Amino acid sequence: MQTIPEAFTNLSLAWNEKDLTKIRSHVDNSVAGNIVFADPSNFIHGIDAFEKW
């Protein structure tokens, strides 16, 4: 059986969290502070921008 990476679990927790005060801690535990997320419609740099996106 394959192990699910902890970062994936934490990002899933952030995605599904209903309590807005808990989302950031899940994000902090799942991505680097200098995260870059890019797709054809978005370019996001930094954990603050990622959390707001």
Q: What is the Cα–Cα distance from 27 to 4, expressed in whole angstroms?
A: 17
If pLDDT is split at 50, 70 and 90, which confidence band does 52 have? Answer: confident
The answer to whether residues 50 and 35 touch, using CB atoms and an 8 Å cutoff, is yes
φ/ψ of residue 50, rounded to 5: -65, -40
pTM of the model: 0.76
Instruction: Return the domain boundaries, the chain.
Output: 6-52
pLDDT of 51: 86
For residues 37 and 48, the answer to whether their CB atoms sit within 8 Å is no
Tens of pLDDT along 6-50? 999 999 999 999 999 999 999 999 999 999 999 999 999 999 998
